[in-house]
């Protein structure tokens, strides 16, 4: 019995596929600094946990597009940033991942094309395979801090099959916060060629420097009928396990379509939807604080990496990731070696090889993604250990 | 901006699309007996609710294939029925719906075919459109109580594109519990033609008469490497809003594949996974009791329907649904009329037109699905009102 080709072609998560090696190392008594996965160490807010604990209703299906009160409070949260999101523009999804799958299904038929900027969030690959969509990558450069190339470079990729441009701002894995000029150029391109924009803005709260500003695609008035925003509570509120995201569009045909997809999977988890309702009212207060924390960590990581000879990276501007080029030939082998063969005083680090964040084969072979999801003290130690490991690896 | 063809072709849920009419009726002060949706009125077990309330951990990502303890207790639950499910054969999914999508993705490439028995669970259509799979229906007959036709009738549907047979036992919407002979014939056919069987057994606990017995596809030894079981906690334990299901296979390539799909959506909701762990240990005790309740209701519904002149139905054997042919021309119009135009002493009933449970156009036009998810007293009243409504409708 043969599994399908698409099942065969679906990549194992590069972030998670090193797990068995990590388990083995742990069994050998090695402490691992886990910088491979975007699972912050920060606490889930007490108010959310309390609401979970106070949930007393039976676990019945909630409405497929989400609990109305959550829809309403989430829509209002956008008003803080003067974005015109109303209740009828937003449906709740089971995580941001489901929102992206819905967006691809709504805009593309099988074999249609979506332009993406590589390196990109690696799970986009799986969503594309599941939905039969072809991702067409525009390669970004580490020396540009992964900002967009000239618009002509992007325009070149458009074919009769292109249906959408998928952009992640601030970007996982690069930490890039796109500038108004860049985003404006993308909207102009989409308007000219009649393309949808799928704007994954789940890290919107995490812009680390005052000189930069997060600009939502929704702030460009003319693009709104072609725009789908991807939203997620996971990282904003440290509730990764809640699986509550949202899909937002001013195009009511998109919302009606997403609602049909939502009906087929019945509903999103009840308790977590209910528990998230109040946090949106004080969201900015909460996220500003954790944003300060990420800024501190970013500085620790960046200063630490600068001291490792042969590394290349620019200072990330947002989210909590950095792509760094290491002085090794193949980071996939190096990351495995870190877990299998190396330890310094019974300690090692776990990183995500960047190769799988690219769609173009053999790109990013020397790069890793680091998620700065540990506190500053631990990050300092982790970087010290990484430095020792690189020295040892290159002397092998 | 045009949405995709598949988005356009995705049906709105026939079960949910009458909701706006129901809301309007409610606003007019009409009480609606809701027999349209498989949302039982039974209580979520206290032990599950308590565990939700006691959940004190941060909401972090749990492992993509599920919390190991839940996997383990769910696998052991099958041992009660002497089915050889071990921890490595089971992954947790976000509802049964996700398990079906994973099964279709794992076995079929776009344009591949899956044989289904109509009328079938209507959301299969949406899953098929989302995954690009073509459903090839074998029509069952109400006068056979929707049991399978001769195996030759099914064999006729097999082409070079056929990858799997999808069967739902006990069946939603028909309430049919398939006999050993029927299931054996299906496995023989699958073995002969090298097809996967996707066996949706989420209603396994709800077989209403002692003379019938639930037989899992897993009990046929030879088919196991070609078998994917779909499981779900929703109906068994009255936790529809928990969104916790499972995909089970002895074929480790299928499990590895499903795990890759699971990694892409990161994890299933944490609290509900945790909360379900203990109930599996006493599952049978719980489900036997509610099965008795459904039997009582089935009898009420069935006796009541017999008294309505012109209806056709046989006694359902399992789950909590019945398909009944009504003496009206078009149940879609009739069901809308029930909400828009009819009330008897400020009461009406809500039913699901059966048309959308068929893949073949214009089948089941006179049929409705009734979910007996209200208590016997209410069901009695609902059937009385239905009788009055039919009389009035036919005198229009």
Closest CB to A241 among B16, B48, B270: B270
Among B250, B282, B314, give the residue marking a domain's end.
B282
Query: Which site among A264, A352, A357 would you substitute to test the B interface, given the most B Cβ atoms closer than 10 Å to its Cβ?
Result: A264
Q: How distant is the Cα of A267 from the closest Cα of chain B, in angstroms?
A: 7
Q: From first to last of its 396 residues, what are the pLDDT tens digits of chain A?
A: 799 999 999 988 877 778 889 999 999 999 999 999 888 889 999 999 999 999 999 999 999 999 999 999 999 999 888 999 999 999 999 999 999 999 999 999 999 999 999 999 999 999 999 999 999 999 999 999 999 999 999 999 999 999 999 999 999 999 999 999 999 999 999 999 999 999 999 999 999 999 999 999 999 999 999 999 999 999 999 999 999 999 999 999 999 999 999 999 999 999 999 999 999 999 999 999 999 999 999 999 999 999 999 999 999 999 999 999 999 999 999 999 999 999 999 999 999 999 999 999 999 999 999 999 999 999 999 999 999 999 999 997
Tokens read off for B229? 């079981």
Residues 6+ apart with CB under 8 A from A17: none
Closest CB to A1 among B13, B95, B251: B251
Q: Domain total for chain B? A: 2
**CA–CA separation, B213 vs B145, rounded Å?**
16
Show the domain range for B379.
Answer: 5-43+285-391
Chain A stretch 33-52, residues whose beta carbon is closer than 8 A to a beta carbon of chain B:
37, 39, 43-44, 48-49, 52
pLDDT at A12: 85
Cβ within 8 Å, pair A49-B56: yes
The CATH number that applies at residue B150 is 3.40.640.10
Tokens read off for B144? 């056979």
Q: What is the pTM of this model?
A: 0.96
β-bridge pairing A367-371 and A352-353: antiparallel
Tokens read off for B352? 């699901």
Q: How big is the A-B interface in CB pairs under 8 Å? A: 227
In a domain, B113, yes or no: yes
B297 in contact with A, Cβ within 8 Å? no
CB contacts of B53 in chain A (<8 Å) are 52-56
Residues A341 and A378 in one domain: yes
Tokens read off for B302? 């069935």
The CATH number that applies at residue A35 is 3.90.1150.10
In a domain, B50, yes or no: no
CB contacts of A61 in chain B (<8 Å) are 37, 39, 240-241
In a domain, A86, yes or no: yes
Residues A323 and A262 in one domain: no
Please name which of B94, B105, B93 lies closest in space to residue A9, comparing C-alpha atoms.
Answer: B105
CB contacts of B93 in chain A (<8 Å) are none
Chain B stretch 334-393, residues whose beta carbon is closer than 8 A to a beta carbon of chain A:
none
In a domain, B123, yes or no: yes
Closest CB to A268 among B54, B131, B243: B243
Q: How distant is the Cα of B345 from the closest Cα of chain A, in angstroms?
A: 28
**CA–CA separation, B178 vs B220, rounded Å?**
14
Instruction: Give the chain B residue whose CA is nearest to the CA of A264.
Output: B123
Closest CB to B271 among A263, A268, A272: A272
CB contacts of A4 in chain B (<8 Å) are 105-109, 112, 163
Inter-residue long-range contacts of B17-23, CB under 8 Å, 24+ positions, other chains counted = B18/B335, B18/B336, B18/B339, B18/B350, B21/B336, B21/B339, B21/B340, B22/B339, B22/B350
Closest CB to A127 among B44, B243, B264: B264
In a domain, A359, yes or no: yes
pLDDT at A37: 86
Closest CB to A239 among B59, B196, B272: B59
**Per-residue CA distances from A7 to A116, A120, B101, B111, B296 (Å):** 22, 21, 12, 15, 44
Sign of the dihedral through C-alpha A117, A19, B66, B269: negative
Closest CB to A3 among B61, B130, B253: B253
In a domain, A51, yes or no: no
Instruction: Give the chain B residue whose CA is nearest to the CA of A43.
Output: B58
Cβ within 8 Å, pair A10-B261: yes
B204 in contact with A, Cβ within 8 Å? no
Cβ within 8 Å, pair A61-B49: no
Among B225, B259, B282, give the residue marking a domain's end.
B282
Instruction: Give the chain A residue whose CA is nearest to the CA of B37.
Output: A61
A124 in contact with B, Cβ within 8 Å? no
CB contacts of A194 in chain B (<8 Å) are 1
Residues B269 and B334 in one domain: no
Closest CB to A225 among B1, B53, B64: B1
CB contacts of B34 in chain A (<8 Å) are none
Chain B stretch 177-196, residues whose beta carbon is closer than 8 A to a beta carbon of chain A:
194, 196
Residues B92 and B221 in one domain: yes
Cβ within 8 Å, pair B56-A43: no
Query: Which site among A241, A261, A356 would you substitute to test the B interface, given the most B Cβ atoms closer than 10 Å to its Cβ?
Result: A241
pLDDT digit string, tens, across residues A277-313: 999 999 999 999 999 999 999 999 999 999 999 999 9
Residues B78 and B107 in one domain: yes
Residues A73 and A109 in one domain: yes
Residues B107 and B237 in one domain: yes
Residues B34 and B174 in one domain: no
Cβ within 8 Å, pair B109-A6: yes
Residues A71 and A163 in one domain: yes
Residues A39 and A134 in one domain: no
Cβ within 8 Å, pair B105-A271: no
Cβ within 8 Å, pair A266-B107: no
Among B257, B282, B307, give the residue marking a domain's end.
B282
Residue where the block lists tokens 């020397």: A366
Q: What is the DSSP string of B135-198?
A: EEEEE--GGGTT----HHHHHTT--TTEEEEEEESSPTTT-----HHHHHHHHHHHHHHT-EEE
Within 10 Å of residue A256's Cβ, how many Cβ atoms? 16
Tokens read off for B30? 């009409």
In a domain, B48, yes or no: no
In a domain, A109, yes or no: yes
Q: How distant is the Cα of B269 from the closest Cα of chain A, in angstroms?
A: 5
pLDDT digit string, tens, across residues A166-191: 999 999 999 999 999 999 999 999 99
Instruction: Give the chain A residue whose CA is nearest to the CA of B126.
Output: A264
Within 10 Å of residue B111's Cβ, how many Cβ atoms? 11
Query: Which site among A66, A127, A265 would you substitute to test the B interface, given the most B Cβ atoms closer than 10 Å to its Cβ?
Result: A265
Within 10 Å of residue B289's Cβ, how many Cβ atoms? 10
**CA–CA separation, A290 vs A296, rounded Å?**
10
User: Residue A134: helix, strand or coil by DSSP?
Assistant: strand
Residues A306 and A223 in one domain: no
β-bridge pairing B196-200 and B134-139: unpaired
Cβ within 8 Å, pair B3-A126: no
CB contacts of B48 in chain A (<8 Å) are 59
Closest CB to A243 among B48, B58, B269: B269
Residues B336 and B210 in one domain: no
Mean pLDDT, consecutive 10-residue segments, chain B of 396 residues?
92 82 95 91 94 94 95 94 95 98 97 98 96 98 97 98 98 98 98 98 97 97 98 95 97 96 95 96 93 96 96 96 97 96 97 95 96 95 97 92
Cβ within 8 Å, pair A131-B130: yes
Closest CB to B6 among A94, A105, A268: A105
pLDDT at B29: 97
SS3 content of chain B, % helix, strand, coil (to 5): 45, 15, 40
Cβ within 8 Å, pair A241-B59: yes
**CA–CA separation, B227 vs A31, rounded Å?**
41
């Amino acid at each position: 019995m043969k599994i399908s080709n698409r099942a065969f072609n679906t990549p194992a998560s590069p972030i998670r596929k090193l797990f068995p090696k990590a388990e083995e190392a742990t069994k050998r008594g090695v402490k691992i600094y886990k910088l491979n996965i975007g699972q912050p160490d920060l606490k889930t807010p007490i108010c959310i946990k309390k609401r979970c604990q106070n949930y007393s209703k039976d676990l019945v299906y909630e409405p497929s597009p989400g609990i109305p009160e959550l829809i309403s409070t989430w829509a209002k949260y956008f008003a803080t940033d003067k974005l015109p999101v109303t209740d009828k523009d937003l449906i709740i999804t089971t995580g941001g991942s489901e929102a992206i799958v819905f967006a691809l299904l709504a805009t593309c038929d099988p074999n249609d094309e979506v332009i993406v900027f590589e390196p990109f969030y690696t799970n986009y690959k799986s969503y594309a395979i599941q939905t039969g969509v072809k991702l067409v990558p525009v390669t970004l450069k580490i020396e540009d801090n992964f900002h967009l190339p000239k618009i002509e470079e992007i325009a070149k990729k458009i074919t009769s099959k292109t249906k959408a441009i998928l952009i992640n701002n601030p970007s996982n894995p690069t930490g890039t916060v796109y500038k108004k000029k860049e985003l404006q150029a993308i909207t102009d391109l989409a308007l000219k060629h009649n393309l949808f924009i799928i704007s994954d803005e789940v890290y919107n709260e995490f812009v680390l420097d005052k000189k930069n500003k997060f600009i939502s695609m929704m702030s460009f008035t003319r693009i709104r009928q072609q725009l789908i925003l991807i939203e997620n509570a996971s990282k904003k509120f440290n509730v990764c396990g809640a699986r509550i995201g949202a899909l937002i569009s001013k195009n009511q045909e998109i919302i009606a379509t997403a609602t049909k997809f939502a009906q087929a999977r019945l509903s999103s988890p009840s308790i977590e939807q209910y528990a998230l309702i109040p946090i949106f009212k004080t969201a900015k207060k909460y996220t500003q604080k954790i944003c300060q924390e990420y800024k501190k960590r970013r500085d620790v990581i960046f200063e630490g990496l600068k001291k490792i000879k042969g590394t290349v990276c620019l200072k990330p501007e947002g989210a909590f990731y950095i792509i760094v080029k290491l002085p090794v030939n193949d980071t996939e082998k190096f990351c495995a070696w870190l877990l299998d063969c190396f330890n310094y005083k019974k300690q090692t680090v776990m990183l995500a090889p960047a190769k799988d964040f690219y769609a173009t084969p053999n790109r990013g072979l020397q790069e890793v993604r680091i998620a700065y999801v540990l506190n500053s003290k631990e990050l300092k130690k982790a970087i010290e250990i990484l430095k020792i490991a690189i020295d040892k690896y290159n002397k092998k």
